[in-house]
Amino acid sequence: MELLIQTIINGLLIGGIYITISAGFTLCFGVLHVIDFAVGEWVMLGAFITFIISTSTHIDPFLLLPLIFVMFFIAGYLLQPTLQRVITKNKSNALLMALAFTFGISVLFKGAALTIWGFNERNLVTILSGKSISLLGINIPSLRLGTFVFAIIITIVFLWFLQKTRFGLAVRAAAERQDVAGLMGIDSNMINKVVYAIYTGLTACSGALIGAIFSINTEMGVRYTIFAFFVVVAGGLGSIEGAIVAGILLGLLNSFISVYIGGQYVFLVLFLFLYLILLAKPKGLLGKGW
């Protein structure tokens, strides 16, 4: 019984981070119609940059989150026009071009990281590392709780921006019809740049959080690319609410599979679940996707 509760809590706490990754990834797909193959590499880069800054300045990784967001926001903002040109140059194959381009980006990022930082594992140490809270016999690692709280805060700020601000309204309008949004005075090129920038910023922040929980290495990215795909497809393409539900589900599945079946079966069972979800609910768990 205690193991069960422990597993559920671990799953929920980890799920929070998956939500942060998938919220940005989903928005990116919803607005730009780009499936970013490099999502996991943004996670990896976020973790590494956080590690480097944190070890050289001795500032706690949690406090670095705003800086990481800004840095990767700028990176995404500068990269997006190139991506945009690749997609619009060959309109009939926009989706495929985006996949090829972002796949190239992911190889580039991973290769560069491998060259610069090598294979060694690194650990991101925060003020919460190694501590834990005991609650009714259940052991909750402070670090996981902390990252969960940060992930939820980031996601709430993100949703607030999308739902309550004038710019967020423009983003949601452009997500549905860029041409009509243009008629309303919304510059879709600008929206696209900002959306991609928010996505890279959010993803890098979740990389910092992931790096605090697990170890960091240059090969870590692909795992999160697969997770992001799982969440976005299971939640329904383009549905942020669905991504939140699927993110929690992913955390729980991960935790349960690792404890009750074995860590090496995570992907196998995960994709069995994805298969079943797609059979039963092709538009995603909430039925709100495409």
> What is the residue-wise DSSP string for 150-186?
HHHHHHHHHHHHHHHSHHHHHHHHHHH-HHHHHHTT-
Minimum separation from the CB atom of position 180 to another protein (A): 4
Q: Are 188 and 174 in contact (CB under 8 A)?
A: yes
Residue keyed to tokens 């069995």: 272
89 binds another protein per the rule CB under 8 A: no
186 binds another protein per the rule CB under 8 A: yes
184 binds another protein per the rule CB under 8 A: yes
- Number of H helices and E strands in the chain, helices first, is 11, 2
Minimum separation from the CB atom of position 196 to another protein (A): 18
Minimum separation from the CB atom of position 284 to another protein (A): 14
Length of the chain: 290
For another protein, the binding residue among 108, 180, 261, 278 (CB under 8 A) is: 180
Q: How many CB atoms lie within 10 A of CB 57?
A: 11
Residues in contact with another protein, shown as a per-residue x/- string from 135 to 174 under the rule CB under 8 A: -------------------------------x--xx-xx-
DSSP 265: G
Which residue's CB is nearer to another protein, number 87 or number 191? Answer: 191
Stretch of 131-139, 175-183, 248-256, 278-286 lying at the interface with another protein (CB under 8 A):
175-183
Which residue's CB is nearer to another protein, number 6 or number 178? Answer: 178
Tell me how far apart the alpha carbons of residues 133 and 82 are, in angstroms, rounded to a whole number. 47
Stretch of 17-25, 54-62, 139-147, 176-184 lying at the interface with another protein (CB under 8 A):
176-184
31 binds another protein per the rule CB under 8 A: no
Long-range contacts of 225-230 (CB under 8 A, 24+ apart): 225/37, 225/38, 225/39, 225/40, 225/41, 225/106, 226/40, 226/267, 227/18, 227/21, 227/40, 228/21, 228/22, 228/25, 228/39, 228/40, 230/270, 230/271, 230/274
Minimum separation from the CB atom of position 165 to another protein (A): 11
Minimum separation from the CB atom of position 186 to another protein (A): 6
177 binds another protein per the rule CB under 8 A: yes
Minimum separation from the CB atom of position 102 to another protein (A): 25
Residues that bind another protein (CB under 8 A): 166, 169-170, 172-173, 175-177, 179-188
